[in-house]
Amino acid sequence: MGRDERFPVWEAALGAGVAAAFAAGLVGVYLSMPDSDYSFLKLPRNLEELQILTGHLENYTSDYTLQVLVGYCAVYIFMQTFMIPGTIFMSLLAGALFGQLRGLALVVFAATAGASSCYFLSKMIGKPLVFTLWPDKLSFFQRQVAKRREKLLNYILFLRVTPTLPNTFINLASPIVDVPYHTFLLGTLIGLIPAAYVTVRAGIALGELTSLSDLYDTQSIALLFLIGVVSVTPALLGKDEAQEKPSEMVVGAS
């Protein structure tokens, strides 16, 4: 194995340090809570577990709002940073505990912070992982970013709104294909709002959900794709204009 293919010890230590920082934050939240049985605190993997967790947390949210908020954000950001599946349940939980507006703001903040943390972690240690897991996707993404460099924000918005590429892949691959952080941040912050709105709204009526497929009806999916098409249109128009200019120069020269 060549020098460039090795996984340096300092990079593993960095990842462990980030995980330890999140763990320390959660321990601090736990120590500030009253003595009680917290065996119900675990990451939900289905709607039934989420409903049980919500029922318990509702009793604490009004009296220990700050601790619940900090704990929620720490868990969500940790999951986004280290690609742990299940953030959709966290988004539903935000709607159930905090309502539409506060829940939406909380999810967008935590999701953007987690995506940013993943972006910077990947920038330092993620290249071997991305090349190993998604070589074809990475080549496709790199070509698209290169073609749409002048309208890159629109393209990132399109990717965030539509399921063209997984969000986890976008978080990890963006620094590798030289997507500037300010473009990544703004595209993520704005692009996550539509899907977050749908999920948080569903969380308000959590007791009525029987399946995750209930989240996105035909109307919601059509709306998300419409927003995606609108967001990418300027990039497509810019590409057409760029192609027309050389043709005009050839005609003028002849």
Q: How is 130-195 classified by DSSP, letter by letter?
A: HHHH-HHHHHHHHHHHHHTGGGHHHHHHHHHHSTTS-HHHHHHHTTTTT--HHHHHHHHHHHTHHH
**pLDDT tens, position by position, 228-247:** 666 656 655 555 444 444 44
Give the span between the Cα atoms of 5 and 2, in whole angstroms.
5
Those residues of the chain that have pLDDT short of 70 are 1-16, 18, 26, 29-38, 216-221, 223-225, 227-254
pTM (two decimals):
0.80
- Which burial class, exposed, middle or buried, applies to 154 when counting CB atoms under 10 A from its CB (0-12, 13-18, 19+)? buried
- Which burial class, exposed, middle or buried, applies to 26 when counting CB atoms under 10 A from its CB (0-12, 13-18, 19+)? middle
Range of the domain at 25: 18-236
| Alpha-carbon dihedral angle through residues 67, 68, 73, 78, given to the nearest 10 degrees | 90
Count structural domains, the chain: 1
Give the span between the Cα atoms of 126 and 111, in whole angstroms.
19
| CB-based contact 38:60 (threshold 8 Å) | no
> Which pLDDT does position 3 carry in this prediction?
42
Kindly state whether residue 158 falls inside one of the protein's structural domains: yes
Kindly state whether residue 213 falls inside one of the protein's structural domains: yes
Q: Give the tokens for residue 135.
A: 């070589």
Kindly state whether residue 12 falls inside one of the protein's structural domains: no
> Which pLDDT does position 126 carry in this prediction?
87
Kindly state whether residue 134 falls inside one of the protein's structural domains: yes
Give the span between the Cα atoms of 173 and 137, in whole angstroms.
9
| Alpha-carbon dihedral angle through residues 219, 221, 223, 227, given to the nearest 10 degrees | 180
Kindly state whether residue 7 falls inside one of the protein's structural domains: no
Q: Give the tokens for residue 69.
A: 């908020």
> What phi, psi does 47 have (nearest 5°)?
-65, -35
> Which pLDDT does position 228 carry in this prediction?
61
Q: Give the tokens for residue 156.
A: 């990132």
Give the span between the Cα atoms of 52 and 6, in whole angstroms.
44
Kindly state whether residue 101 falls inside one of the protein's structural domains: yes
CA 124 to chain centroid: 19
Kindly state whether residue 252 falls inside one of the protein's structural domains: no
Kindly state whether residue 107 falls inside one of the protein's structural domains: yes
